[in-house]
Amino acid sequence: MYKTYELCPAAELSPYKTFECGQCFRWNPLAEEEYLGVASGRAARVYAAGGRTHIECEEADIGFWREYLDMDTDYAAARESVMRGEYLTQCAATGEGIRILRQDRWEALCSFIISQCNNIPRIKGIVEKLCSAFGEAFDTPWGVKYSFPDAARVALLEEPELAPLHAGYRAPYIINAARAVANGDIDLESAGEMDADEARRYLKTLNGVGDKVANCAVLFGLHRLDAFPVDVWIKRALKEHMPRGFDPASLGEYAGLAQQYMFFAERERSRLADGARESV
């Protein structure tokens, strides 16, 4: 049975900001501040209304979703800890309501391998094709959905079978990573016990996994909140707004949250500027 639960004040969890800050690829908008998503073979609708954020999900799954949404972390204190200087303070204000999701480790690793030199709409398209082709179907109030295929399932595939995904040069990296995880060469549970630097080096032993993908997998899959991925948006922000030689490690245990605030703020600034230009 699907039921609706109140989670928290909307300021503490913004569906729009959380699901549009580049950390996940299986949440899609139904309306402003209303998103439908799939994680670990479950589906849920998260929405803000009347100043509160709510979730509609299977009654038996509310515990899973509370953990997935990281509801036990004090994000007000975490946000305050990274408000260092005018720029980061502004980014934190813009990004208030972002939470770092506790995503499945294999799904995060595979998704960010797909993300290389890619844009978010195309990443989402490839991920959904992967799920509908090789995941398990299940019924929801919003129609049939598909789980993310586990590493053991993807490990059985050959590159031609991934051709319909149009993943390009990433296809062999996806299969290689799946086989490494499935046969135990890469143990994601053990990686979750490592510090961020050690986990990053460990994941970089995979073909096709460099600094950016490894950092994303560490932050979003292993939930090491001190990891700080650098993509084109962050590289530009660091160059334009931070002092030369800035070390993200100086932001402490929530450096990854600061990264998400920066990423979201830069994307929002670009989106609003594009909208202003289109309206002229």
3 state DSSP class of 149: coil
Pair 160, 196: CB distance under 8 Å: no
Q: How many angstroms separate the CA atoms of 239 and 63, rounded?
A: 41
Pair 54, 4: CB distance under 8 Å: yes
Distance from chain centroid for Cα 113: 12
Distance from chain centroid for Cα 61: 20
Q: How many angstroms separate the CA atoms of 222 and 250, rounded?
A: 20
Structure tokens at 268: 């929002």
3 state DSSP class of 34: strand
Structure tokens at 52: 């509160």
Catalytic residue among 17, 204, 212, 235: 212
CA separation, residue 215 to residues 37, 75, 160 (Å): 23, 21, 29
Structure tokens at 91: 């980014």
Quick check: is 204 catalytic? no
If one counts every other C-beta atom within 10 angstroms of the C-beta of residue 147, the result is 21
* Catalytic machinery residues: 212
